[in-house]
Amino acid sequence: MAVVSVNAQSKTQRKWLLFFAPLIGIIGLWLASGWLVPSNLAPLTNKLQGLVTTFQGIFIEALPFLSAGVIVSVLIGEFVKPQHLASFVPQNAFGASIFGSLLGLLFPVCECGAIPTSRRLLRKGAPAPMGIAFALAAPVVNPIVLISTSIAFGDVRWALARVGFTIVIALTIGLIIGAGIKRESILTPLSLTADDHDHSHCDHDHGACDHTHDQSKGRLAGLIAHGSTEFFEMAQYLVIGSLLAATMQTFIPQSALLTLNDSSIGFFAPLVGIVVLMLVAVLLSVCSTVDAFLALSFLGLFHPGAVMAFLVFGPMIDIKSTLMLTSTFRRSAVVAMVVLAALFAIIAGLISYVVLV
């Protein structure tokens, strides 16, 4: 009875959301257009125009990477079997976490692509520590980010330090959250569901399929259907996350955070600088493939440790990726990831402050 009431409540909330969301969107677009807007609401027009522009920028930047992640996820679903994972993925928690934190070197996806890929691997039976470590590390531990960071700072040591900190943090969080804990306590029901691809193929030994051509067409249609479903499911989190990020950028002045530079804080300057740039990373939600060039612009205002925290924390935890994580991991696990990632990123920033200052 409790389950039925919860489902009924969820359906009611969804109906109200479907009713109010388009209404709010129409009102927002009308205010942004400036057409017949009352004079007392005119100041909102410029704000909302900026919000729309920022939203489009974040969404369009992330969309190709989400598509790439879904494609990788579909290919894994089609060609990687649970027995394959069992044969080459370490089954102990430590080995699985290391494997997951390094897997981005083979699958170069940012945070928008790492999460659907992680969920597919988990549905294939991958250990939970591996899925957690991959989701957190892959946005940084991949060849594209390694090259872009080296080029931006003109020093490969920045890239190596960024990747090194990310690997250590991701595998540690994977161990803390995933080791010795039941998968049901960490993963969402959809992430626990066995992958349909593992049961959808025809059993040739029992003569289930007579026409190879029809089977191939059916498999292609199935791949497209699975990819479309996963894309639109993940896209809703991307849209909401991008909208939240754009809203915060529009109505929370970034300059207010950036004025908290090292000279104005005193003894706590290193820590405050780190926290400020971590908040900026969450606020901006910039893709990890290009965020190094933005981080370079902060280097004159903040100390190197704060910039390193920006580079490490942002790709792991920003607004859109945090929402997308809830599609794969339970909210309690996501909260734990956010808190632990923040603490470890602060430690990484303080270490960098001592070493790089």
DSSP 33-58: HTTT--GGGHHHHHHHHHHHHHHHHH
Please classify residue 223 by burial: count the beta carbons closer than 10 Å to its beta carbon, then call 0-12 exposed, 13-18 middle and 19+ buried: middle
- Find all residues with CB under 8 Å of 179, minimum gap 6, and list them: 93, 94, 97, 129
Q: What is the pLDDT of residue 4?
A: 40
Instruction: Measure the CA–CA gap between 144 and 163, rounded to whole angstroms.
Output: 12
pLDDT in tens, 141-159: 988 889 889 988 888 999 9
pLDDT band at 210 (very low <50, low <70, confident <90, very high): very low
Counting other chains too, the contacts that 117-122 makes at CB distance below 8 Å and 24 or more residues apart are 117/69, 117/72, 117/73, 117/76, 118/328, 119/73, 119/190, 119/191, 119/327, 119/328, 120/72, 120/73, 120/74, 120/76, 120/77, 120/195, 121/76, 121/80, 121/85, 122/183, 122/187, 122/191, 122/192, 122/328
Strand partners, 329: 187
**DSSP code at position 252:** S
Does 178 have pLDDT greater than 70?
yes
Q: What pLDDT sits at residue 202?
A: 43
Residue 240 has pLDDT above 80, yes or no: no
Judged by phi (left if over 0) then psi (alpha if -120 to 50, else beta), residue 141 lies in beta
DSSP-derived secondary structure letter, 195 = P
Model confidence over 272-318: pLDDT tens digits?
889 988 998 888 888 887 788 888 878 877 889 999 999 999 999 98
Whether 71 has a pLDDT exceeding 70, the answer reads yes
Would you state the pLDDT for residue 98? 95
Residues facing residue 187 across a β-bridge: 329
The pLDDT confidence band at residue 76, using thresholds 50, 70 and 90, is low
> What whole-number distance in Å separates Cα of residue 131 and Cα of residue 123?
10
- pLDDT value, residue 256: 61
Give the pair of three-digit tokens for residue 87: 């044969």
Q: Compute how many other C-beta atoms are within 10 angstroms of the C-beta atom of residue 86.
A: 13
- Round to whole Å and give the CA distance between 130 and 94: 9
Binned at pLDDT 50, 70 and 90, residue 2 comes out as very low
Query: Which amino acid is it at 156?
Result: V
Average pLDDT over residues 179-207: 69
- Of the candidates 166, 141, 145, 146, which has an alpha carbon nearest to the alpha carbon of residue 157? 146
Residue with tokens 């020093």: 155
CA distance 43 to 253: 16
From 135, 98, 133, 103, select the one nearest 119 (Cα to Cα).
135
Strand segments (E) across the chain: none
Distance (Å, rounded) from C-alpha 11 to C-alpha 18? 10
Under 8 Å between Cβ of 65 and 109: yes
Highest-pLDDT range among 39-43, 88-92, 128-132, 213-217: 128-132
Q: What is the pLDDT of residue 150?
A: 92
- Which of 34-48, 163-177, 215-229 shows the lowest mean pLDDT across its residues? 34-48
More confident: 56 or 178? 178
What is the per-residue pLDDT for 228? 75
Q: Residues 337, 195: contact at Cβ < 8 Å? A: no
Amino acid 163 reads V
- The model carries a pTM of 0.74
Work out the average pLDDT over 258-281.
Answer: 74
Are the beta carbons of 282 and 321 closer than 8 angstroms?
A: no
Q: Give the DSSP letter string of 75-99.
A: HHHHH--HHHHHHHS-SSHHHHHHH
Q: What pLDDT score was predicted for residue 351?
A: 95
pLDDT classification of 77: cutoffs 50, 70, 90: low
Specify the residue for token string 């709010």.
24
Residue 10 has pLDDT above 60, yes or no: no
pLDDT of residue 23: 55
